[in-house]
């Protein structure tokens, strides 16, 4: 459905879009599927911190002292960066007094969400002190905190100039040489501004006659050390990223329903050495310039997160930004990631300006002469030599021009003119990045993207696109990722969310058990060590780096000569009665792999042929005949490599009844059909009731329906499933007319009517958590029903479909587990099978 809807949508978008800088490309080619899916239950090496407080959204990592400082609602914490959950944290309780809170409530603010002290600013001030600001029930306060003692000072500072009143407002702040550079919506009136305070020359933006900022929501700011290695004695600059209401000219994309609410992404910058003007632009920035930031117009205009890399070396500085789709259709979620190079931003800021044309009441490109020194530039050596020692020496002509021309004419376009990634069904809320150097001496940018529902995507940037190495569910309960911080020294990622802080390892290479697995992952942190046959983290290993095998670029080379590439799967035997349906489970650990089944080592089985159905979780053989006997090999085909995942020996026996009673208890007991029948008769004689045996189903992973209708499995990885067989007969029996037949191990029950199902938990399945129900299909406003964005599946469970209604011709979903879970879901509502319990037989 999505597969069809998406091009349709793009068509609509393209049709409604009025020309602008053209960055539209077919979106499908850019959509990347995360290779691995790691559900909450499969996390390893994670550490948690949680206290009484909420909203752990401000994080400050101090690598030198190995502390992670956290600003939350009503509290500050100092955690050990090695292990944030070690219990030895320090805490500052900092809440607004009840009087403050009730005053806030009287002013019409919500006393359940807004009238608290949300810590929004937390930075290192100097060698001994930290600086923190909180919203303090709509009366912001700041404090210099002794980092060692970690206690609040006896006196506070006014926070009006440094901190938003509203905790939900976008905010970004830096301490630079003791001065505070903050950008948010200030005061009760929520005025957007970029301000410098705690500085001999406090500055802000201009509001008349032109508002330099319109309804701006700030996302990120960074100091770029452009003075370093500058031949012209350039100044350091602070760059700001935000979304704001578009100037009239830019509403040209009629995509937005109402022109006035059309918002665009922006980048702005100021010079660190700006002192403001003397008469004109007194106490205002004289170096403020802003430009439009384009990722993939017209759909992606809302900036969600930005991060910078190499801000110390301006020649290499680059930014990564996450944008979200802006549509009228609220249910449609999608995100885009773009990379921007500082050089491009600089080029735009030295290009033509825009001008507000009073007559036409719109912004247009300024075509007149530009005064000297160039308006908005920083003070450089050539200017100093001409007597302009500071911004206060600039001529009035220049400052008047600055006042009226804050906007550049040309937009900033992404590297290579296109997004790195477009992703459906995801809203990225935050991102961070780190350059990782590999044993081969190359460096790759590794991105960590947080979603609105508590997942982290880890992606490596490869030229024009990204490869999503894995997606990790860091919270059982969906909640938005508010902050992400990387510590290379601790090899950790810290995630700030409403309910707590999580520490994750930057890589989990041990999950990859074969050489192929290790190189297919294309994780720059992971390499195959041929000397002891393990996938190791390159940053921590002591192995000879030159002998490590890795192929980030293509992800399929290097393992050919490796003597042992990984453990081989054990051969399993299956024996069924003629006419039964049997599933041979085989989970593809990678969402990018294609399942390939070979019979007797050569014949490739295709879906829908000779009673075979190939699914993402196994091979279903329907209406088995003696010709189906043979040995079956399940392979994963990915990126040109083929690896054996499972092998089965299947025997189909003629259906001849023969009595022999036996209890269906143990996992080893593989009942013969005759035994089964007798057992069934015994049960029938006893009660004539439908015996409901519980079964174990491990719905663990949430499968996200990728959208293109083809197999998009969200696998659970191989770990935890490798163990021995723990097969136990269990049956889901709803209103199954003939279910006396059920006492079978499952591979070969026959003669049932209706759609009875038998479930056999798979090999070495871990204890089952209660299955989360699949989300109800969302209704799009245009009347189309969306598929569940995430499909649930059972971990390692195999099952047999008995007499499916119809002739078993494959229709619809490719995942049998999915199909099964839907049937089960339906039953749960009508039957007493409430809890799927492994032990109940
Ligand atoms: C919030 O205000 C309501 C109405 O004035 C009051 O009943 C409630 O107790 C207040 N809640 C808190 C947490 O202060
Ligand atoms: C750091 O700043 C605090 C607060 O302004 C001040 O009390 C302290 O003396 C400063 N420390 C140093 C080493 O400058
Ligand atoms: C704080 O957390 C709650 C959930 O615990 C969330 O609803 C709220 O939006 C958060 N507030 C802010 C300002 O992030
Ligand atoms: C700029 O600084 C130089 C040297 O410090 C000084 O000689 C000159 O007078 C200054 N110019 C102005 C306009 O202040
Ligand atoms: C293999 O060797 C590397 C480097 O010596 C080591 O870090 C890793 O733990 C070893 N792995 C196993 C499974 O022994
Ligand atoms: C590392 O391995 C390479 C080739 O495999 C070899 O030439 C080199 O001497 C080794 N270095 C060390 C320190 O063992
Ligand atoms: C596969 O091999 C088995 C036993 O070797 C044989 O009985 C069966 O007929 C073969 N199947 C096919 C399709 O060749």
* Reduced 3-state DSSP string for 74-92: CEEEEEECCCCCCCCCEEE
Ligand 5 closest atom vs CA 510: 13
What phi and psi values does residue 101 have, to the nearest 5 degrees? -65, -40
Mean pLDDT, range 734-739, rounded to an integer: 29
The CATH number assigned to the domain holding 578 equals 2.60.40.10
> How large a percentage of the chain has pLDDT more than 90?
53
Confidence of residue 569 (pLDDT cuts 50, 70, 90): confident
Q: Would the pLDDT of 231 be above 50?
A: yes
Which residues line the pocket of ligand 7, CB cutoff 6 A? Answer: 599-600, 603, 627, 629-630
CA distance 606 to 442: 41
Determine which residue's CA is closest to atom 5 belonging to ligand 3. 498
**Same domain membership, residue 370 and residue 264:** yes
**Same domain membership, residue 265 and residue 218:** yes
> How large a percentage of the chain has pLDDT more than 70?
71
Q: Ligand 1 pocket test: which of 111, 115, 116, 117 has the largest number of ligand atoms within 8 Å of its C-beta?
A: 111
The CATH number assigned to the domain holding 213 equals 2.130.10.10
Confidence of residue 143 (pLDDT cuts 50, 70, 90): very high
- The predicted-structure confidence for 483-496, as pLDDT tens digits, reads as follows 999 999 999 999 99
Mean pLDDT, range 585-589, rounded to an integer: 88
Confidence of residue 248 (pLDDT cuts 50, 70, 90): low
**What tokens were used for 315?**
């020649």
CA distance 123 to 809: 63
Query: Residue 650 CA: which ligand is closest?
Result: 7
Contact criterion met (CB below 8 Å) for 362 and 368: no
Residue 784 has a pLDDT of 24
Mean pLDDT, range 756-780, rounded to an integer: 34
711 C-beta neighbours (distance < 10 Å), count: 18
Least confident piece of the model among 120-124, 440-444, 587-591, 628-632: 587-591
Query: If you measure from the C-alpha of residue 284 to the centroid of ligand 2, how many angstroms do you get, rounded to a whole number?
Result: 27
Ligand 4 closest atom vs CA 388: 13
Residue 93 has a pLDDT of 96
Could you list the residue range(s) of the whole structural domain that residue 808 is in? Answer: 675-733+755-827
Determine which residue's CA is closest to atom 6 belonging to ligand 6. 546
Using the 3D structure, point to which of 400, 425, 450 is the last residue of a domain.
Answer: 425
Confidence of residue 720 (pLDDT cuts 50, 70, 90): very low
The CATH number assigned to the domain holding 559 equals 3.30.1680.10
Mean pLDDT, range 221-243, rounded to an integer: 95
Mean pLDDT, range 29-38, rounded to an integer: 84
Query: If you measure from the C-alpha of residue 185 to the centroid of ligand 1, how many angstroms do you get, rounded to a whole number?
Result: 26
Q: Ligand 4 pocket test: which of 382, 387, 392 has the largest number of ligand atoms within 8 Å of its C-beta?
A: 387
Confidence of residue 513 (pLDDT cuts 50, 70, 90): confident
Query: If you measure from the C-alpha of residue 546 to the centroid of ligand 3, how many angstroms do you get, rounded to a whole number?
Result: 48
Decide: residue 149, CB within 10 A, 0-12 exposed, 13-18 middle, 19+ buried: exposed
Decide: residue 53, CB within 10 A, 0-12 exposed, 13-18 middle, 19+ buried: buried
CA distance 798 to 721: 12
CA gyration radius, the chain: 31
Query: If you measure from the C-alpha of residue 74 to the centroid of ligand 5, how many angstroms do you get, rounded to a whole number?
Result: 45
Using the 3D structure, point to which of 590, 618, 653 is the last residue of a domain.
Answer: 653
CA distance 572 to 281: 80
CA distance 257 to 348: 29
Query: Residue 388 CA: which ligand is closest?
Result: 4
Least confident piece of the model among 6-20, 108-122, 187-201: 6-20
Q: Would the pLDDT of 42 be above 80?
A: yes
Question: Is 92 a member of any domain?
Answer: no
Determine which residue's CA is closest to atom 14 belonging to ligand 5. 532
Query: If you measure from the C-alpha of residue 543 to the centroid of ligand 6, how many angstroms do you get, rounded to a whole number?
Result: 10
Q: Ligand 2 pocket test: which of 123, 124, 125, 126 has the largest number of ligand atoms within 8 Å of its C-beta?
A: 126
**Strand, helix or coil for residue 9:** helix
Question: Is 468 a member of any domain?
Answer: no
- Scan for tokens 């083929």, then name that residue: 642
Q: Would the pLDDT of 785 be above 90?
A: no
- The predicted-structure confidence for 293-335, as pLDDT tens digits, reads as follows 999 877 778 999 999 999 888 899 999 999 998 766 666 788 9
Query: Residue 540 CA: which ligand is closest?
Result: 5
Residue 563 has a pLDDT of 55
105 Cβ closer than 6 Å to some ligand 1 atom: yes
- Scan for tokens 């607004």, then name that residue: 96
Contact criterion met (CB below 8 Å) for 459 and 320: no
Contact criterion met (CB below 8 Å) for 3 and 708: yes
**Same domain membership, residue 215 and residue 340:** yes
CA distance 666 to 664: 6
Query: Average pLDDT, whole number, for the chain?
Result: 76
Q: Of 783 and 586, which is predicted with more confidence?
A: 586
Question: Is 405 a member of any domain?
Answer: yes
**Same domain membership, residue 637 and residue 692:** no
Query: Residue 145 CA: which ligand is closest?
Result: 2
**Strand, helix or coil for residue 772:** coil
- The predicted-structure confidence for 366-415, as pLDDT tens digits, reads as follows 999 999 899 999 999 999 999 999 999 999 999 999 999 999 999 999 99
DSSP secondary structure letters along 425-478: T--EEEEEEEEEE-TTS-EEEEEEEEETTSEEEEEEEETTEEEEEEEEE--SS-
SS3 per residue for 482-500:
CEEEEECCCCEEEEECCCC
Mean pLDDT, range 462-472, rounded to an integer: 93
Contact criterion met (CB below 8 Å) for 57 and 482: yes
**Same domain membership, residue 796 and residue 822:** yes
Which residues line the pocket of ligand 5, CB cutoff 6 A? Answer: 529, 532, 534, 536, 541-543
Query: If you measure from the C-alpha of residue 55 to the centroid of ligand 3, how many angstroms do you get, rounded to a whole number?
Result: 6
Confidence of residue 463 (pLDDT cuts 50, 70, 90): confident
Residue 66 has a pLDDT of 96
Question: Is 502 a member of any domain?
Answer: no
- The predicted-structure confidence for 175-209, as pLDDT tens digits, reads as follows 999 999 999 999 988 999 999 999 999 999 998 88
- The predicted-structure confidence for 795-804, as pLDDT tens digits, reads as follows 222 222 222 2
Q: Of 612 and 14, which is predicted with more confidence?
A: 612
According to DSSP, the β-strands at 354-357 and 300-309 are unpaired
Decide: residue 25, CB within 10 A, 0-12 exposed, 13-18 middle, 19+ buried: middle
Q: Would the pLDDT of 696 be above 70?
A: no
What phi and psi values does residue 756 have, to the nearest 5 degrees? -85, 150
Residue among 146, 144, 155, 142 at smallest CA distance from 128: 146
Residue 565 has a pLDDT of 56
Q: Would the pLDDT of 263 be above 60?
A: yes
Q: Ligand 2 pocket test: which of 125, 129, 130, 175 has the largest number of ligand atoms within 8 Å of its C-beta?
A: 129
Q: Would the pLDDT of 158 be above 80?
A: yes
Residue 609 has a pLDDT of 84
Residue 541 has a pLDDT of 67
Beta strand spans in 217-280 (E): 217-224, 237-245, 263-271
Determine which residue's CA is closest to atom 2 belonging to ligand 7. 630
Residue among 44, 54, 46 at smallest CA distance from 496: 54
The H helix count followed by the E strand count for the chain is 8, 45
Query: If you measure from the C-alpha of residue 709 to the centroid of ligand 3, how many angstroms do you get, rounded to a whole number?
Result: 35
Residue among 516, 496, 495, 519 at smallest CA distance from 506: 495
Query: If you measure from the C-alpha of residue 178 to the centroid of ligand 2, how many angstroms do you get, rounded to a whole number?
Result: 10
Query: If you measure from the C-alpha of residue 108 to the centroid of ligand 1, how many angstroms do you get, rounded to a whole number?
Result: 12
Q: Would the pLDDT of 18 be above 90?
A: no
**Same domain membership, residue 400 and residue 294:** yes
Query: If you measure from the C-alpha of residue 52 to the centroid of ligand 3, how many angstroms do you get, rounded to a whole number?
Result: 14
Query: Residue 535 CA: which ligand is closest?
Result: 5
Question: Is 473 a member of any domain?
Answer: no
**Same domain membership, residue 357 and residue 265:** yes
Determine which residue's CA is closest to atom 2 belonging to ligand 4. 389
CA distance 535 to 604: 31
Contact criterion met (CB below 8 Å) for 675 and 681: no
Which residues line the pocket of ligand 4, CB cutoff 6 A? Answer: 387, 389, 393
Ligand 4 closest atom vs CA 389: 1
Confidence of residue 823 (pLDDT cuts 50, 70, 90): very low
Determine which residue's CA is closest to atom 4 belonging to ligand 3. 498
Confidence of residue 738 (pLDDT cuts 50, 70, 90): very low
Q: Ligand 3 pocket test: which of 50, 52, 54 has the largest number of ligand atoms within 8 Å of its C-beta?
A: 54
Which residues line the pocket of ligand 2, CB cutoff 6 A? Answer: 125-129, 144
Determine which residue's CA is closest to atom 13 belonging to ligand 6. 544
Query: If you measure from the C-alpha of residue 387 to the centroid of ligand 4, how many angstroms do you get, rounded to a whole number?
Result: 6
Contact criterion met (CB below 8 Å) for 208 and 240: no
Residue 342 has a pLDDT of 96
- Residue 486, beta-bridge partner list: 493
Question: Is 494 a member of any domain?
Answer: no
Using the 3D structure, point to which of 396, 425, 454 is the last residue of a domain.
Answer: 425
Ligand 7 closest atom vs CA 600: 1
Query: If you measure from the C-alpha of residue 95 to the centroid of ligand 1, how many angstroms do you get, rounded to a whole number?
Result: 16
**Same domain membership, residue 581 and residue 519:** no
Using CA atoms in the order 276, 277, 283, 286, what is the torsion angle rounded to 10 degrees?
Answer: -50
Confidence of residue 657 (pLDDT cuts 50, 70, 90): low
Least confident piece of the model among 334-343, 608-617, 664-673: 664-673
Residue 39 is classified by DSSP as -
> How many structural domains does the chain have?
4
Query: If you measure from the C-alpha of residue 57 to the centroid of ligand 1, how many angstroms do you get, rounded to a whole number?
Result: 25
Determine which residue's CA is closest to atom 9 belonging to ligand 1. 111
Q: How many residues does the chain have?
A: 841
CA distance 801 to 758: 7
**Residues contacting 347, CB < 8 A, separation 6+:** none
Ligand 1 closest atom vs CA 98: 14
Q: Would the pLDDT of 644 be above 50?
A: yes
**Same domain membership, residue 646 and residue 551:** no
**Same domain membership, residue 302 and residue 211:** yes
Q: Of 286 and 771, which is predicted with more confidence?
A: 286
Query: If you measure from the C-alpha of residue 600 to the centroid of ligand 7, how many angstroms do you get, rounded to a whole number?
Result: 6
**Same domain membership, residue 326 and residue 280:** yes
Chain centre to alpha carbon of residue 677: 51
Confidence of residue 538 (pLDDT cuts 50, 70, 90): confident
Q: What angle do CA 242, 245, 249 make, to 5 degrees?
A: 120
Least confident piece of the model among 19-28, 502-511, 596-605: 19-28
CA distance 665 to 483: 51
Residue 240 has a pLDDT of 98
Question: Is 21 a member of any domain?
Answer: yes
Query: Residue 548 CA: which ligand is closest?
Result: 6
Query: Residue 602 CA: which ligand is closest?
Result: 7
CA distance 299 to 659: 68
**Same domain membership, residue 814 and residue 686:** yes
Question: Is 101 a member of any domain?
Answer: no
């Amino acid at each position: 459905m999505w597969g069809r809807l998406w091009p349709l949508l793009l068509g609509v978008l393209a049709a409604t879009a009025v020309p602008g800088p053209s960055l539209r490309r077919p979106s499908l080619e850019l959509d990347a599927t995360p290779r691995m899916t790691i559900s909450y239950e499969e996390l390893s090496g994670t550490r948690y911190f949680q206290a009484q407080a909420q909203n752990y959204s401000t994080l400050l990592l101090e690598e030198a002292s190995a502390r992670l400082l956290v600003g939350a609602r009503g509290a500050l914490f100092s955690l050990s960066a090695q292990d944030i959950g070690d219990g030895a944290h320090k805490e500052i309780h900092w809440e607004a007094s009840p009087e403050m809170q009730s005053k806030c409530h009287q002013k019409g603010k919500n006393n359940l969400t807004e009238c608290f002290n949300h810590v929004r600013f937390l930075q290192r001030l100097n060698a001994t002190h930290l600086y923190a600001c909180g919203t303090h029930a709509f009366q912001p306060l700041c404090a210099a905190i002794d980092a060692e003692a970690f206690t609040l000072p006896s006196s506070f500072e006014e926070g009006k100039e440094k901190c938003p009143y509203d905790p939900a407002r976008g905010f970004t702040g830096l301490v630079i040489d003791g001065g505070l550079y903050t950008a948010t919506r200030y005061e009760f009136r929520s005025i957007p501004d970029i301000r410098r305070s705690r500085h001999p020359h406090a500055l802000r933006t201009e509001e008349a006659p032109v508002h330099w900022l319109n309804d701006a929501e700030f996302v990120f700011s960074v100091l770029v050390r452009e003075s370093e290695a500058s031949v012209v004695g350039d100044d350091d600059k602070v760059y700001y990223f935000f979304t704001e209401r578009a100037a009239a000219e830019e509403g040209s994309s009629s995509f937005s329903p109402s022109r006035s609410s059309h918002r665009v992404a922006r980048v702005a910058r100021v010079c660190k050495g700006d002192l403001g003007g003397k008469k004109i632009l007194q106490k205002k920035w004289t170096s403020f310039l802003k430009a439009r930031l384009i990722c993939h117009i017209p759909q992606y205009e809302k900036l969600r997160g930005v991060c910078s890399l190499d801000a110390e070396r301006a020649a290499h500085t680059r930014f990564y930004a996450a944008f979200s789709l802006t549509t009228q259709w609220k249910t449609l979620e999608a995100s885009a990631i773009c990379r921007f190079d500082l050089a491009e931003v600089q080029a735009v800021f030295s290009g033509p300006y825009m001008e507000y044309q009073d007559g036409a009441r719109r912004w247009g490109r300024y075509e007149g002469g530009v005064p000297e020194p160039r308006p908005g530039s920083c003070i450089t050596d050539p200017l100093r030599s001409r007597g302009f020692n500071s911004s206060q020496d600039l001529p009035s002509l220049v400052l008047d021009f600055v006042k009226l021309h804050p906007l550049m004419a040309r937009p900033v376009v992404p590297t290579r003119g296109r997004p790195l990634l477009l992703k459906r069904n995801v809203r990225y809320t935050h991102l961070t990045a780190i350059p990782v150097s590999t044993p081969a001496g190359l460096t790759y940018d590794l991105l960590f993207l947080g979603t609105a529902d508590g997942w982290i995507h880890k992606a490596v940037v490869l030229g024009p696109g990204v490869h999503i190495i894995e997606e990790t569910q860091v919270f059982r309960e969906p909640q938005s990722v508010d902050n992400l911080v990387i510590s290379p020294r601790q090899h950790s990622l810290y995630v700030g969310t409403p309910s707590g802080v999580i520490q994750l390892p930057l890589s989990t290479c041990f999950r990859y058990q074969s050489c192929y697995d290790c190189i297919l992952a294309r994780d720059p942190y992971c390499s195959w060590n041929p000397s002891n046959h393990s996938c190791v983290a390159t940053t921590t290993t002591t192995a000879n780096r030159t002998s490590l095998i890795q192929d980030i670029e293509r992800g399929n080379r290097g393992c050919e000569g490796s003597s042992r590439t990984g453990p081989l799967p054990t051969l399993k035997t299956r024996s069924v009665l003629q006419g039964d349906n049997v599933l041979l489970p085989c989970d593809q650990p990678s969402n990018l792999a294609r399942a390939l089944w070979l019979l007797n080592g050569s014949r490739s089985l295709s879906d829908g042929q000779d009673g075979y159905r190939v699914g993402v979780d196994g091979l279903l053989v329907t209406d088995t005949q003696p010709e189906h006997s043979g040995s079956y090999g399940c392979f994963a085909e990915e990126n040109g490599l083929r690896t054996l995942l499972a092998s089965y020996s299947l025997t189909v026996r003629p259906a001849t009844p023969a009595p022999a009673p036996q209890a269906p208890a143990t996992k080893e007991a593989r009942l013969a059909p005759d035994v089964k029948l007798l057992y069934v008769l015994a049960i029938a004689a006893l009660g004539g009731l439908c015996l409901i045996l519980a079964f174990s189903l491990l719905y663990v992973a949430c499968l996200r329906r990728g959208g293109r209708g083809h197999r998009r499995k969200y696998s659970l990885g191989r770990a935890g499933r490798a163990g021995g067989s723990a097969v136990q007969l269990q049956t889901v029996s709803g209103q199954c007319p003939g279910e006396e037949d059920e006492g079978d191990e499952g591979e070969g029950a026959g003669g049932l009517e209706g759609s009875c199902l038998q479930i056999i938990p798979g090999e070495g399945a871990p204890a089952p958590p209660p299955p989360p129900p699949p989300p109800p299909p969302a209704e799009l406003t245009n009347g189309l029903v969306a598929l569940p964005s995430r499909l649930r599946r059972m971990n390692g469970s195999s099952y047999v479909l008995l007499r499916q209604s119809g002739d078993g011709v494959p229709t619809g979903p490719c995942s049998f587990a999915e199909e099964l879970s839907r049937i089960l879901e339906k039953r749960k509502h009508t039957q007493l099978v409430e809890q799927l319990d492994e032990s109940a037989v």
